[in-house]
Amino acid sequence: MKELITLGEFVIQQQHKHAAATGDLSQIFGAIRLASKLVHREINKAGIADITGAAGLENIQGEQQQKLDVYANEKFKAALAARGLVCGIASEEEEHFVEFDHELNKGSKYVVLIDPVDGSSNIDVNVAVGTIFSIYKRKSAADGPVELDDFLQPGTEQVAAGYVIFGTSTMLVYTTGDGVNGFTFDPSIGVFYLSHPDMQAPESGNIYSVNEGNYIHFHDGVKRYIKYCQEYDPATNRPYTSRYIGSLVADFHRNLLKGGIYFYPSYANNPNGKLRLLYECNPIAWLAEQAGGRATDGNGTRILDIKPTELHQRTPFFVGSVSMMDDVERFMVQERARLERMAELA
């Protein structure tokens, strides 16, 4: 029988592969593991524990805050603060970053950015949701206060990133820059086991994920790509299948396994789309690249290269298999060229 490796064992093995590794990430992953188990437990008894339904509060995004959002946010904050290695956290559920100013956290050198429950509107309808996290080393002096710039770092500076998908099973998928590995939770003993070693994004696929309800608002390049996905051409495996769950983690996870593309473009009066750069797009983009895929803003800018200016800033987001990303960008480039020609003629 193949030897089962736990997440904790795997992180320690990885740490020994990198001489510079200090074991800090092992500790931080221990906190993420703990909080994930607590959220798993609550999600799996939602409705019984009256955890579903809005908490009657609104978060900074002006969205109805689901009780699970509040619960998950508190559990991840508490678990990360208790390890004494994280000096602060930025969360979709917090307007400003939160400094951990306990004595234990003085001099800590990491910051964590998190979307505690991405896709939370799906909780009440029993559809998969996920936690997305991104870890950086602070830039400010270790003996000083945490600063906003500690969180406003480009995605290329991440030291670790991942997600937990609470679906038919709970999985944790992460990277520290040495590939992507997936771990499945065994609730009977409360352990995450390595189930998807060295995850590779298929070079192509036939699944496209976009909210086509926004079609009339999309720019022509996006509209043309969607029509391209729907055309009949057996030679290029089209028409593709449309799959959109409304939960980024679930759509991305399926596309990572099967091949596909997810995109949330700018639309109507949302020039930067909907998704948040720091705690949704950057971690997912790094995972995609580490697994052999790509992630851009649809206009040729690599997501990881974007220099953040605000904690909750949004970006158009295109992520997936390389050949499908090449295709969508071809349509976007053609659209930009057409608009430039029209501007010249005007």
Please give the residue ranges that form the binding site for ligand P6P (CB under 6 A).
Answer: 118-119, 211, 246-248, 251, 274-275
Residue 164: strand, helix, or coil: strand
Minimum CB separation from ligand P6P for residue 205, in Å?
17
Smallest separation (angstroms) from ligand P6P to the CB of 56: 19
Q: Judged by CB, which is closer to ligand P6P: 100, or 263? A: 263
Q: CB-based contacts of 153: which residues, under 8 Å, 6+ apart?
A: 136, 139, 308
Q: Beta-carbon neighbour count of residue 164 at 10 Å? A: 30
Closer Cβ to ligand P6P, 5 or 127, answer by number: 127
Q: How far is the CB of 275 from ligand P6P (least distance, A)?
A: 6
Tell how strand 129-137 and strand 170-175 pair up. Answer: unpaired
Ramachandran class of 320: left when φ > 0, alpha when ψ lies in -120 to 50, beta otherwise: left
The sign of the torsion formed by the CA atoms of 262, 268, 272, 278 equals negative
Q: For residue 137, which amino acid is it?
A: K
Q: Which helix (H) or strand (E) holds 137?
A: strand 129-137
Reduced to 3 states, what is the DSSP secondary structure of residue 251?
helix
For residue 276, the minimal CB distance to ligand P6P (Å) is 8
C-alpha distances out from residue 133 to 47, 146, 287, 338, Å: 26, 19, 11, 39
CB 173 within 8 A of CB 287: yes
Phi, psi of 137 (to 5 degrees): -85, 135
Based on CB atoms, which residue is closest to ligand P6P, 101 or 212? 212
In this structure, what are the phi and psi dihedrals at residue 141, rounded to the nearest 5 degrees?
Answer: -60, 135
Compute the least distance from the CB of residue 244 to ligand P6P, in Å: 7
Strands 241-242 and 207-209: parallel
Pick 63 or 99: Cβ nearer ligand P6P: 63
Q: Shortest gap between Cβ of 48 and ligand P6P (angstroms)?
A: 24
Residue 25 vs 248, nearer CB to ligand P6P: 248
Least CB distance to ligand P6P at residue 264 (A)? 6
Please say which residue, 193 or 244, places its beta carbon nearer to ligand P6P. 244
Closest CA to 102 of 117, 90, 86: 86
- Nearest residue (CB) to ligand P6P, 164 versus 248: 248
Cα–Cα–Cα angle for 309, 311, 312, rounded to 5 degrees: 110
To the nearest whole angstrom, how small is the minimum distance from the Cβ of residue 180 to ligand P6P?
A: 19
251 vs 327 by CB, closer to ligand P6P: 251
> Phi and psi at residue 3, in whole multiples of 5°?
-65, 130
